[in-house]
Structure 1
Amino acid sequence: MKLISQFRSFLNDTVNLNRTRLNALETNVSALTNFVRQCDWAPEIIRFYPQGSWAHDTIIKPLHGAEFDADLLVLVEPVDNWTAADYVKSLGQAFSDSATYGDKAKTWDYCVTITYVGDRQVDIAPCVVGRLIPDRYEVCNRGADLFERSEPMLFTEWLKEQNGYSGSNSFRKVTRLLKYLRDIKTTFTCPSVLLTTLLANQIYWTDKESDAFADVPTTLKTVMGRLDDWLQARPHKPVVSNPHLASEDLAASWTEAQYSNFRNFINKYRNWIDEAYDEEDRARSIAAWRRIFGDEFAKGESVLTKASADESKSLVSNLLASTAAHLDGLVDAVASFGVAILPRTFFSPPHMQAPPWPKADSFSQNVQVVAIWQSSKDAMSGRRLQQEESLSRSGGIWFDVTVNNGQSLPEGYRVQWRITNTGAMAMALGQGRGGFNPAMTGNRRWESLRYRGVHIAEAFIIRRSDDRLVGQSAPFLVIIE
């Protein structure tokens, strides 16, 4: 089960770096850039440029007691007769001599790190522009005293482009989820830039507006499936090139053993994700997602035991009535525990009409309902709904139909919609519909959201030549709170 709202809350409350920390980071960076501009560091500064997870918007909240890192490039003009080591050493010296930063600064091979105790670090790395070739970027390796070519801006733009193909920012969200998984499980080693690249490589321009990237859990399933397939086809450590700098192997720091371990665990987690996604029982799905992401996922929601599941079904049977004028409590129960608690009789209330068309010899159930919520019938845009998604009594839904897992209905066929209302409000107002309605535009039909209840939409495909029923969709449930 997708549990889209639970993923949204999990990201916001547990995974994403919170706004307070981001504000503090931005304040620190502003002060650091002012310091570098005003100190007596010799290079002429062109500009500052964020890089890494901060720039890629994949930064996550550190685990308890840990620090998070932010990377900042300072782009500079070349200084005559300076070696690569000179840029890093002189920047480190400027910070060490400062009364403000002297006890916070440490110089490494590529950068100077400013540590704000117990919370965050900012790494400032010199990057020389146009030293030998115009517009070529080179970072400085103090240890080896070498200039090393880099393409930080193009790499960041590539990630933004890949995220754009995924839709709804889902690539960035999935990257954060998998970095969180890496950090809480500690079962595999993979640097963030390498992990982000491996994931981004699984997205293609043809994926734009694809159902495979419709939401966060679906994107997670798609990307992990593709990554696992890619890894399983490569039993030995591959080269993972920077897409804009082929000479840079981002997997160079991996050992063969680390790669093998990573490959095995991605396969394991891919299978766990598939199981959690495909599990139709809400409680069991929550338990399956928690096996992957820990108890913070869907925090506060109880995972039903068999006994409590039986109790919920008993509650539902008490709420149902033969007229389908069920009590409002049924809506709350279904919203909390999922449609699995509904008995089969719920899907065939007495006022639901039987199809009047004779069934063809060849009959298909490979018919899918597509539901798009819009604020009004003529709104310019909307969003695709998922099964079991709870909605408020506002706007409405355009229902459409596909066959054979996404194909359009061919010529020579028409669709009839059976819309069945349930719930005390609809029944009391005489709106207990259960009959058939024609499409309005093409194969689509508009239904407004008025009555609290658990309602049913189904598509029936009729062959025009002999008026026979050739296909029927599974029920699409609309839960209106």
Structure 2
Amino acid sequence: MKLIEHFDNFLSNTVNLNQTRIDRLESSVAAIKNVVRDSDWEPKVRGFAAQGSWAHKTIIKPTEGGAFDADLLVYVDPVVDWDAAAYINSLCEVFEDHGTYEEKVKAWDYCITITYAGDFKIDVVPCVRDRLWAGHEVCNRKENRFEVSKPAEYTAWLIERNTWTGNNAFRKVTRLLKYLRDIKGTFTCASVLFTTLLGYRITSFDRFNSNPFNDVPTALRTIVDRLDDWLQLHQAKPAVLNPVLQAEDFARLWDDAKYSNFREKIHLYRKWINDAYEEPDRDESIGKWRRVFGDEFAAGVEMEAASISKTAVVALARSNVPVVSTGLDMVNLLSAYGSKAIPEGINRLPYMHRPRWQLATSGQFPVFVTMSLHSARNGSLMRRVDGLSPLPKGCWVKFDVFGGPGGVPLSKDYVVHWRITNTDREAIQAKQLRGGFNVANDGTSHWEKLAYRGLHLAEAFVIRKRDQRLVAQSAPRFVVIE
């Protein structure tokens, strides 16, 4: 499903840089401009301009504990007999001699960086205009040479493509994919390279057909499909030329291994995005979108979905089963109505993590889970657990998984991941709904302490070690804690 409203909220609340940070950035930039203007820096300053993600409006909120970057160009007239390094070094000295910035500034290859601890960094980039001809050059301090640059033209190129998609679709998708890059950490792609790759996926023909960009999830799917199609045509690292400066190849920011990994990961995430987009069940679609973007996506749905006792009451009523009292939790409902009280789709709750492994094309087999009650982890057996009999808090359960109808223990060729999912009021209050994957903590078996009243689920996922493919998945095993 598209879940357009959830995408809009996700962008606003999680991905986009919040207004407070934007205000601090703009205030800091204004102060930096004043320092440069009021200093005795020899180059004549002709103006300032935003550059990079800030100028392109694709800047995103940093991941927890991180900082975001903003680039500020300083356009200057050339100084006779100055080499490229002089512009960087002398600008750094201006800020080193200023009491506010002396501990915050550092010179790099093309800029000076002013760091605001734990929040953001501002790269101040000298850009020399009309030195030998009409045009702009940045300063390579490391190699002490001038390099032609066309930042305004590049920004205009991106703005044009954003206009062709309509509704800021290109910018929104770029932010989403940069967020995906940052939270997954599974591939490396510098922002200028990533943005350029995405920009090339938009063509002038898109001006005449807005359907591929009608809404955010559709635009995301369109652009990722196009990117993956292009990547699959290039097994070896291709050139990714600056669209306004063909002598510059942004692919230099990759090596062959990084490109190959990027190509592989985009191919995988394309499958996940299409799977989530095409999923007709709302809760299952939310779960699949969370596989792509993490648990912050549609975060507000979690509490509603976790209160399955409410869902169970509604389902019982629809089945013409009268519920004699309101305010019952799942333990009460199961006691009164048995398995009829278990809502349909309980194993597809939106906060449950979806499998990240590809399904094996061969070698699949059935598995089932057994459960036993113990006084402590590795403690004495109290009893085998069958059905929906309530279990006491404080005890431990051991889950075992067996393959095939005969109940054969799994060999060392496999590793088992367990998905433990809690539901209902006590788990919600304790913020312990879980739903993620844990590697078995006792060979292929798994131990859990009984902690929260309610109905909970345990599922086994069997992964073949040699190719990391999913070969088996058990049915949910229900655990009732009183």
- What residue identity is the alignment partner of 1:176? R
Task: Give secondary structure in 2 for the equivalent of 1:88.
Answer: helix
Shift of 1:317: 3.6
Structure 1 residues 289 and 90, CA, compared in 2 at 3 Å: closer, same or farther?
same
1:53 aligned residue: 53
The 5 Å alignment of 1:286-301 reads: 286-301=286-301
Q: How many residues align?
A: 320
Task: Give secondary structure in 1 for the equivalent of 2:10.
Answer: helix
Moved over 6 A (4+): 307-310
Distance 2:140 2:44 in 1: 19
| 1:221-265, Cα deviation, whole Å (9 max, x unpaired) | 000000000000000001100100000001112000000000000
Do the aligned partners of 2:127 and 2:139 also contact (CA within 8 Å) in 1?
A: yes
1:257 aligned residue: 257
- What residue identity is the alignment partner of 2:272? W
Distance 1:149 1:67 in 2: 29
1:271 aligned residue: 271
Shift of 1:206: 1.5
| 1:350-389, Cα deviation, whole Å (9 max, x unpaired) | xxxxxxxxxxxxxxxxxxxxxxxxxxxxxxxxxxxxxxxx
The 5 Å alignment of 1:317-336 reads: 317=318
Do the aligned partners of 2:138 and 2:146 also contact (CA within 8 Å) in 1?
A: yes
Task: Give secondary structure in 1 for the equivalent of 2:301.
Answer: coil
| 1:117-140, Cα deviation, whole Å (9 max, x unpaired) | 110110001010011111x11000
Do the aligned partners of 2:231 and 2:263 also contact (CA within 8 Å) in 1?
A: yes
Structure 1 residues 308 and 285, CA, compared in 2 at 3 Å: closer, same or farther?
farther
Percent identical among aligned pairs is 55
* TM-score, normalization by structure 1: 0.64
Distance 2:183 2:220 in 1: 17
Do the aligned partners of 1:212 and 1:219 also contact (CA within 8 Å) in 2?
A: yes
1:395 aligned residue: none
* TM-score, normalization by structure 2: 0.64
Distance 2:309 2:206 in 1: 41
| 1:166-199, Cα deviation, whole Å (9 max, x unpaired) | 1111110111110110000000000001101111
The 5 Å alignment of 1:184-333 reads: 184-208=183-207, 209-302=209-302, 311=312, 314=315, 317=318
- What residue identity is the alignment partner of 1:178? L
1:78 aligned residue: 78
Task: Give secondary structure in 1 for the equivalent of 2:53.
Answer: helix
Do the aligned partners of 1:112 and 1:125 also contact (CA within 8 Å) in 2?
A: yes
Do the aligned partners of 1:279 and 1:285 also contact (CA within 8 Å) in 2?
A: yes
| 1:89-120, Cα deviation, whole Å (9 max, x unpaired) | 10011111111111111111111101111101
| 1:391-432, Cα deviation, whole Å (9 max, x unpaired) | xxxxxxxxxxxxxxxxxxxxxxxxxxxxxxxxxxxxxxxxxx
2:115 aligned residue: 115
Shift of 1:309: 11
The 5 Å alignment of 1:329-348 reads: none
Do the aligned partners of 1:88 and 1:126 also contact (CA within 8 Å) in 2?
A: yes
Shift of 1:311: 4.0
- What residue identity is the alignment partner of 2:245? L
Do the aligned partners of 1:88 and 1:140 also contact (CA within 8 Å) in 2?
A: yes
1:16 aligned residue: 16
Distance 1:316 1:250 in 2: 61
1:64 aligned residue: 64
1:177 aligned residue: 176
1:153 aligned residue: 152
- What residue identity is the alignment partner of 1:87? Y
- What residue identity is the alignment partner of 2:163? G
Do the aligned partners of 1:284 and 1:304 also contact (CA within 8 Å) in 2?
A: no
What do you get for the CA RMSD once the two structures are aligned? 2.1
Structure 1 residues 315 and 156, CA, compared in 2 at 3 Å: closer, same or farther?
farther
Distance 1:313 1:267 in 2: 41
1:367 aligned residue: none
Shift of 1:314: 2.5
The 5 Å alignment of 1:87-98 reads: 87-98=87-98
Shift of 1:205: 1.6
| 1:76-97, Cα deviation, whole Å (9 max, x unpaired) | 1111011001111100111111
Task: Give secondary structure in 2 for the equivalent of 1:251.
Answer: helix
The runs of 5 or more residues in structure 1 that have no matched partner are 320-339, 342-481
1:473 aligned residue: none
Distance 1:163 1:61 in 2: 20
Do the aligned partners of 2:193 and 2:253 also contact (CA within 8 Å) in 1?
A: no
Do the aligned partners of 1:54 and 1:71 also contact (CA within 8 Å) in 2?
A: yes
Shift of 1:210: 1.6
Distance 1:12 1:31 in 2: 28
Distance 1:30 1:45 in 2: 15
Distance 2:200 2:259 in 1: 17
1:162 aligned residue: 161
Shift of 1:64: 1.1
Distance 1:309 1:239 in 2: 56
- What residue identity is the alignment partner of 1:216? V
| 1:243-288, Cα deviation, whole Å (9 max, x unpaired) | 0000000111200000000000000000000000000000000000
Shift of 1:207: 1.2
Distance 2:153 2:319 in 1: 61
Structure 1 residues 85 and 66, CA, compared in 2 at 3 Å: closer, same or farther?
same
Task: Give secondary structure in 1 for the equivalent of 2:87.
Answer: helix
Structure 1 residues 41 and 312, CA, compared in 2 at 3 Å: closer, same or farther?
farther
Task: Give secondary structure in 1 for the equivalent of 2:254.
Answer: coil
Distance 1:38 1:317 in 2: 75
Distance 1:243 1:127 in 2: 19
1:412 aligned residue: none
The 5 Å alignment of 1:335-374 reads: none
1:347 aligned residue: none
The runs of 5 or more residues in structure 2 that have no matched partner are 321-343, 346-482
Task: Give secondary structure in 2 for the equivalent of 1:286.
Answer: helix
